[in-house]
Amino acid sequence: MTLRRFAGLLLLAVVAAACGARESSEAGGASGGGSSKPRVALVLKTLNSPFFIDMERGAKEAAQRLGMDLTVQAAEREVDVDKQMQIIENLIQTGIKVLVVTPSGSKEIAPAIAKANAAGIRVIVVDTRVDPKSAAESGAKVETYVGSDNYEGGRIAGKYLVEATSGKATVAVLEGIPGHETGDQRLRGFKDAVKDAKGIRIVASQTANWERDQGFTVFQNMLEAHPEIDAVFSCNDMMALGAVEAIAARGKTGKIRVVGYDAVEDARKAIRDGAILASVAQFPSEMGRVAIESADKLLKGQPVPAEQLVRIDLVTKDQPSGAAAPAAGGGGAAGAPPASPSAASGGTR
């Protein structure tokens, strides 16, 4: 064997070893590409968000504890439904046994789930439910839903805003993506909570697509059209933080009450500083944990509930750790009480 050929073979061996190490790291501490264990995939909406980073952390910790071979993938932006569909279709070809997914589109995800079902893959949905009609039309089957009660969270936000304003406010709403279950349920819960308060008027309601920069722009435009606005409900904290920046740009900090959703760290700081009044806290790390524990049960032939609700809470300046609001309905709260205020975090949805 010539020296040049030996050097070439050595280089190939080094590259192959590096690829294997990368696969092992993606498995969240599991046994890597050569594992004989059933593979589980977690497909998130994005990893450019504190909410989903925290969910990934909870899932990886559970996978490591259970000795599971876990792969985590996500699109760059959570509104990129087509990319998420492509990721799922590619994963189907890799021999995964369970797919855990946070749908970027409640309706759009159904055909991808049906393809996974056809390949013998069990599916767990986290955070955003699949549209029932789309699921029925596609023949998509979901083993369990793990997430918060978004309607109840919206209702808690609305009830708090009514109390904080003594039932008198001119309100703007920053919506999630229309037609997507998560934002739609929060919006419906909020509206139901304020509808009987005669002094509450919603004068503007528009999507800012879960994003901070769009929250800034959209709320700027709302203030131009309705300078009398003195309260905001945002269906997530990223848009709320954008609204806070727009409020500051207009010199109205402290004059417009802002209620958000998710209790991300930046929103908690804004609550401490008085720029945000309150935020509904979720516990994404628990969602990740419960989803992976459910995947483990499915792999062992054990039953799982059709719905597993993780608790929600309300964070305010007076209650920075939340009010310990219980989860409502369905399979009941899936997690234990939070160990610390940082246990709840969030981001775009």
Does residue 20 belong to any structural domain of this protein? no
Tell me what pLDDT residue 34 has: 52
Across 113-117, 138-142, 345-349, least confident range: 345-349
- Decide if 268 is inside a domain: yes
- Measured at the CA of 155, the angle between CA 345 and CA 147, to 5 degrees, comes to 45
**Residue 5's pLDDT band (cuts 50, 70, 90):** very low
| Whether residue 144 is found in the same domain as residue 216 | no
Residues 244 and 158 in one domain: yes
Read off the pLDDT of residues 212-232 as tens digits, 9 standing for 90 and up.
999 999 999 999 999 999 999
Given a cut of 80, whether residue 105 has pLDDT beyond it is yes
Residue whose structure tokens are 């417009």:
256
How far apart CA 197 and CA 172 sit, in angstroms, is 15
To 10 degrees, what angle do helices 212-225 and 237-249 make?
A: 50
Task: Read off the pLDDT band of 2 (50, 70, 90).
Answer: very low
CB atoms within 10 A of CB 143: 20
Pick 179 or 298 by higher pLDDT. Answer: 298
Q: What's the mean pLDDT in 322-349? A: 45
12 in a domain, yes or no? no
Residue 227 lies in a domain: yes
Do 119 and 157 lie in a common domain? no
Look at residue 13 in the predicted model and tell me its pLDDT.
39
**Per-range mean pLDDT, top range of 34-43, 44-53, 243-252:** 243-252
Q: Is the pLDDT reported for residue 11 higher than 50?
A: no
- Do residues 179 and 252 share a domain? yes
> Does 233 lie in the same domain as 194?
yes
Q: Which two tokens stand for residue 139?
A: 């023949």
Helix-then-strand count for the chain, H and E: 11, 12
Tell me the percentage of the chain whose pLDDT exceeds 70. Answer: 82
The number of distinct structural domains making up the chain is: 2
Residue 137 lies in a domain: yes
Q: Does 119 lie in the same domain as 49?
A: yes
Q: How far apart are CA 137 and CA 184, in angstroms?
A: 21
In which band, very low, low, confident or very high, does the pLDDT at 142 lie, cut at 50, 70 and 90?
Answer: very high
Nearest to 201 by CA among 223, 170, 174: 170
Q: Over the chain, what is the mean pLDDT?
A: 86
What digits encode the pLDDT tens for the residues 263-281? 989 999 999 999 999 999 9
Query: Nearest Cα to 73, choosing from 62, 63, 86, 61?
Result: 86
Distance CA 91, CA 281 (A): 32
Is pLDDT of 323 > 90? Answer: no
pLDDT at 237 over 70: yes
Q: Which of 10-19, 142-151, 319-328 has the lowest mean pLDDT?
A: 10-19
Same domain for 254 and 165 = yes
pLDDT in tens, 238-255: 999 999 999 999 999 999
Please tell me the least confidently modeled range out of 29-38, 167-176, 185-194, 294-303.
29-38
Higher pLDDT, 247 or 338: 247
* Residues 166 and 270 placed together within one structural domain of the fold: yes
**pLDDT for res 35:** 58
Residue type at 307 in one-letter notation: E
DSSP 63-104: HHHHT-EEEEEE-SSTT-HHHHHHHHHHHHTTT-SEEEE--S
Alpha-carbon separation of residue 347 from 51, 76, 173, 253 (angstroms): 4, 14, 17, 22
157 and 260 in a single domain? The answer is yes
The answer on pLDDT for 17 being more than 50 is: no
Q: Do 112 and 64 fall into the same domain?
A: yes
47 inside domain: yes
How far is Cα of residue 43 from the mean position of the Cα atoms in its chain?
Answer: 12
Residues 6+ apart with CB under 8 A from 263: 237, 279, 280, 281, 282, 313, 315, 322, 344, 345, 346
| pTM of the predicted structure, to 2 decimals | 0.78
Quote the pLDDT of residue 324. Answer: 57
The answer on 262 and 155 residing in a single domain is: yes
Decide if 76 contacts 83 (C-beta within 8 A).
yes
321 lies in some domain: no
Q: Which two tokens stand for residue 320?
A: 């920075």
Query: Where do the DSSP E strands lie in the chain?
Result: 39-44, 69-74, 98-101, 122-126, 144-147, 168-175, 199-207, 231-234, 257-262, 278-281, 307-309, 313-316
Q: In the prediction, which pLDDT does 49 show? A: 84
60: domain CATH number? 3.40.50.2300
337 lies in a domain?
A: no
Q: What is the mean pLDDT of residues 285-302?
A: 97
Residue 150's pLDDT is 95
**Closest Cα partner for 157 from 312, 265, 274, 273?**
312
Q: Which domain holds residue 79?
A: 36-148+285-309
Same domain for 297 and 277: no
